[in-house]
């Protein structure tokens, strides 16, 4: 089963990707995480994409398609793929179609998670990340136990460079213009999910939908 998690920045795609990939044994590919790792390592890709990522602009489609191809080729033993933050343009969606056609496979379903911009703004401004293990916290909805330190590593939590009000507004605008058209591109495969609910309610809703979907395919 191959699934796309589609939705605006901060709606909870990464949070749900962790839960859903475990539940269905899917290999989760987050283009944002791959890009940030390269920036952290200051490798060739990282140098190319740093300005785009930190300013909330989209990285060029050809680079992203190359990354996706590499990640898929290296992880073929799973039950399928869960794409978090990809595709983000119609061009990327067409690129993914080509990849799947070559593999005689397909995108099965697209989970469109949504929430109001006010909720998104609050979530992103209160998101904190452990620089060691990558654990994602939220000062309001999922706070660490001890101040702003990671429960697992004890390291001081950090704020993502693109999680400031101005860049968040820009990311939301980029989503509206460049990514939201995918809701039409994938209209036959779309399952709408209310991302404003609690993490566990959103996850339950997604799991229920995916179980129903895979039973119907049998
Ligand atoms: P990316 O890393 O994909 O960022 P994003 O789409 O902006 O999404 P986020 O990671 O910010 O949010 P999320 O939806 O995963 O929310 P999360 O679960 O963390 O991309 C970053 C950049 O990389 C892009 O701007 C671009 O430059 C580049 N890029 C990436 N992919 C690209 C592509 N395909 N093409 C071109 N460029 C690309 O949750 C947010 C917070 O809310 C957390 O604190 C969490 O704990 C909390 N939370 C989550 N769910 C809930 C809930 N239900 N209730 C309460 N709190 C919740």
Beta bridge partners of 190: 110
DSSP for residue 156? B
Q: Residue 209 and residue 217: Cα distance in Å, rounded?
A: 13
> Within a domain: residue 213?
yes
Q: Going by CA atoms, what residue is nearest to atom 39 of ligand 1?
A: 12
Residue 14 falls within a domain, yes or no?
yes
Distance of CA 42 to the CA centre of its chain: 22
Share of the chain residues as helix, strand and coil, in percent rounded to the nearest 5: 50, 15, 35
Rounded distance, CA 61 to CA 85, Å? 13
Residues 119-139 pLDDT 10s: 999 999 999 999 999 999 999
Residue 19 pLDDT greater than 90, yes or no = yes
The answer to the question of residue 189 being in a domain is: yes
Task: Return the residue whose CA atom lies nearest to atom 6 of ligand 1.
Answer: 9
- Percent pLDDT > 70 in the chain is 100
Instruction: Report pLDDT for 216.
Output: 86
User: What is the phi-psi region of residue 175: left when phi exceeds 0, alpha when psi lies from -120 to 50, beta otherwise?
Assistant: alpha
Residue 101 covered by a domain: yes
CB atoms within 10 A of CB 125: 16
Ligand 1 pocket test target in 12, 114, 118, 135 with most atoms within 8 Å of CB: 12
Tokens (6 digits) for 92: 């990327």
Residues recognised as catalytic: 13, 88, 127, 160, 171
Confidence check: pLDDT of 94 > 80 = yes
Domain of 21, in residue numbers: 3-26+78-115+173-217
What distance in Å separates the CA atoms of residue 76 and residue 27, rounded to the nearest whole number? Answer: 9
CA angle (17 as vertex; 132, 145 as ends), nearest 5: 45
81 Rama sector, left if φ>0, alpha if ψ -120 to 50, beta otherwise: beta
Atom of ligand 1 nearest to the CA of 30: 3
- Each residue of 160-198: pLDDT tens digit? 999 999 999 999 999 999 999 999 999 999 999 999 999
What is the per-residue pLDDT for 34? Answer: 96
Single pTM value for the model:
0.96
Q: Determine whether the shortest distance from the Cβ of 128 to ligand 1 is under 6 A.
A: no
Closest CA to 4 of 94, 98, 113, 101: 113
CATH number at residue 184: 3.40.50.300
Provide the pLDDT confidence category of residue 218 given band limits of 50, 70 and 90: confident
Of ligand 1's atoms, which has the minimum distance to the CA of residue 31? 31
Domain contains 152: no
Q: How many domains does the chain have?
A: 1
Residue 121 lies in a domain: no
Residue at 158 is within a domain: no
Identify whether 182 is part of a domain. Answer: yes
């Amino acid at each position: 089963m191959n699934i796309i998690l589609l939705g605006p920045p901060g709606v909870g795609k990464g949070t749900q990707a962790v839960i859903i990939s475990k539940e269905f044994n899917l290999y989760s590919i987050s283009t944002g995480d791959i890009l940030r790792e390269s920036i952290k390592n200051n490798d060739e890709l990282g140098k190319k994409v740093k300005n785009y990522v930190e300013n909330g602009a989209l990285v060029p489609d050809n680079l992203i398609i190359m990354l996706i191809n590499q990640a898929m080729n290296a992880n073929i033993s799973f039950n399928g793929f869960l794409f978090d933050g990809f595709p983000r343009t119609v061009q990327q969606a067409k690129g993914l179609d080509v990849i799947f056609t070559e593999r005689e496979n397909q995108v099965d379903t697209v989970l469109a998670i949504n929430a109001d911009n006010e909720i998104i703004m609050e979530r992103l401004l209160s998101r904190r990340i452990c620089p060691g293990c990558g654990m994602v916290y939220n000062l309001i909805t999922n706070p660490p136990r001890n101040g702003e330190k990671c429960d697992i590593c004890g390291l001081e939590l950090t704020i993502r460079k693109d999680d400031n009000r101005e860049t968040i507004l820009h990311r939301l605008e980029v989503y509206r213009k460049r990514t939201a058209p995918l809701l039409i591109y994938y209209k036959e495969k779309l399952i709408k999910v209310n991302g404003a609910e609690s993490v566990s309610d959103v996850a339950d809703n997604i799991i229920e939908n995916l179980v129903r979907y895979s039973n119907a395919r049998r």
